[in-house]
Amino acid sequence: MAPTIDQLAKMGQKLRRHSILMTTEAGSGHPTTCMSAADIMSVLFFSEMKFNPANPAQRDADLFVLSKGHAAPIWYAALRETGAIDDDLLTLRKFTSRLEGHPMPRLPWTKVATGSLGQGLSAAAGMAVAKRMDGYPSRVYCLLGDGETAEGSVWEAAQFASFNKLDNLCAIVDMNALGQSGPTMHRHDAAALAAKWTAFGWQAVVADGHNVQALLDAFAKARAGSGKPTAIVAVTEKGKGVSFTEGKEAWHGKAMKKDEAAKAVAELGDTEITLKPQAVSWAANAAPADAPQPWVPPYKIGDEAATREAYGTALVKLGETGKDVVVTDGEVKNSTYADKFKKAYPDRFVEGFIAEQNMVGVALGMATEGKIAFASSFACFLSRAYDFIRMAGFSHPKHLILCGSHAGVSIGEDGPSQMALEDLAMMRPLFNTTVLYPSDAVCAERLVYEAAKTDGIVYIRTSRPKTKVLYDANETFPVGGSKVLRASGSDQATVVAAGVTVYEALIAWEKLKTEGIAIRVVDAYSIKPIDTATLQRAALETKKMVTVEDHSPNGGLGEAVCQAVAGKAPVTLLGVRKVPQSGTPTELLAAYGIDAAAIVAAVKSA
């Protein structure tokens, strides 16, 4: 039997009580932002959403994303009341608890980590896309704060959802009019905020966020809408239900003292109620699609091909056997060669357009739904999405692969705005990341396959110029490995390179050989994890190390090598040390000290 309006209203009060008591016990948190959303959460979890509280992994169930992550206590309270979790709510924010200050996937109902505002809607849109790809009738609900709608990424997601006609997506804006340090942009002007959603192609519904019937009606409109996502602008009061917090400033992020909490709970009245979600019969969990199978890259030693092109070729091969492989791109697909996948599997390609933050968020959302998600753009533009990538690392996606193409000065005449010289430094420190940098097409295709079966976030750095194929098509490239391309018992130094500088290192080897100087050359295609054993052996045997990279010397390959061989040999770092300019790749490699001549000089100096 469906719960009554009075029961849902009472459950809202109970969720408020939980939020107050949890944050008071913790001594910190955001009770008032939970109190404004309590009625919304009651209607969502006890009437609107269809899910099985016993199974957070159910693929055909409705999903919820809490974009306003600081309202985590109300989320935990709703989960506890539905029976989805049995955690002690009063352990909120304790080191031993799964109930963290902002949602993290230690709690399996949390699909993506939130708390950096403006990101939840992108992930929710990715989940909605994945649901549609899989043919599930499920819906995705995303609760945002009105303050976070000032983030441009929200509107990137709004455009994306509208363009893709995601009518299985519902955003709920908790319009409580107060931010952290003052009123929000629109305060309680719901018509102004709704007009924005309408302008972005959404069905916008304004509702009293504390009126259960109004919320039920709004959700009914959302379900009935065809061809458009729905935004419910729910007008609420921050701190609702308690006289000394309702609509009051200076309460954001402030827990009540125990005597204040007692007074607040007394004002809430009788909150003793038990409700369970409506029983829903679900089919068994969908069986995962077959994992992609390896293949032999179609190149011979001496062929010329760009690693960015090999990336696109590899995606097509992956898609043949890996039915859960999906691809999105930042509207540069004819440069990253992701367009090859689009032509082969248009139903599994999602255009991200020039909105890199949303592109990464959508890819994360798809990854949480069991997809092997690839997202590509120019490497320099991924820096716009850095916070999305950082938060994705906390979300522990099973398979999220980012490809940054056109890296370094080797792109040539386009100039510094297009030259990623910081991306390795950007990706290496992040949690749950693997960083790969192929030098030739065989290596690139093999690493795309390795990336598809590696947990977490994988970053593949590809290059614009065509390079000669160095490796036999049957060569393998395990993550964490490297290739020793030149070595002898008389090596006087080791040169470690990756990507385009591998070729410069080989030219330097030839030049030094004519002068009677033997060096070892290592292709460090796996930068994180790096092949510590091979590098330490080289350091001990050759006594000197030189690294060369088409990247800043700060935070990239050189520093990774320094960490690997610390104390075992001195390391000279060659990298791009000043702002570059337009020119040919050959001119630029020479001008910024990362060509063969620079390597020769560094070896001699060392």
Residue 73, amino acid: P
Q: Which of 589, 429, 572, 424 shows the shortest CA–CA distance to 496? A: 572
Question: Helix (H, G, I), strand (E, B), or coil: what is residue 530?
Answer: coil
Which member of 100, 309, 356, 559 is catalytic? 356
Token digits of residue 189: 């002007």
Distance between CA 124 and CA 169 in Å, rounded?
A: 7
Among residues 216, 211, 121, the alpha carbon closest in space to that of 159 is found at 121
| Geometric angle at alpha carbon 44, from 113 and 36, rounded to 5° | 75
Phi, psi of 234, deg, nearest 5: -95, 110
Strand-pair partners of 573: 547
- Strands 519-523 and 483-486, by their bridges, are antiparallel
Query: Distance between the two ends of the chain, CA-based, in angstroms?
Result: 80
Nearest residue to 574 (alpha-carbon basis) of 591, 552, 606: 552
Rounded to 10 deg, the angle between the 596-605 and 501-514 helix axes is 60
- For residues 239 and 261, the answer to whether their CB atoms sit within 8 Å is no
413 in active site:
no
Q: Which of 216, 243, 172 lies closest to 8, judged by CA?
A: 216
User: Phi and psi dihedrals of 238, rounded to 5?
Assistant: -65, 135
Assign residue 292 a region: left if phi > 0, alpha if psi is -120 to 50, beta otherwise? beta
DSSP state of 387: H
The single residue listed with the structure tokens 């107060």 is 178
The overall longest dimension of the chain from CA atoms, in Å, is 90
- Nearest in space to 139 (alpha carbons), one of 125, 153, 158, 120: 125
593-604 burial, b at 16+ Cβ within 10 Å, e below that, comes to: bbbbebbbebbe
Active site residues: 356
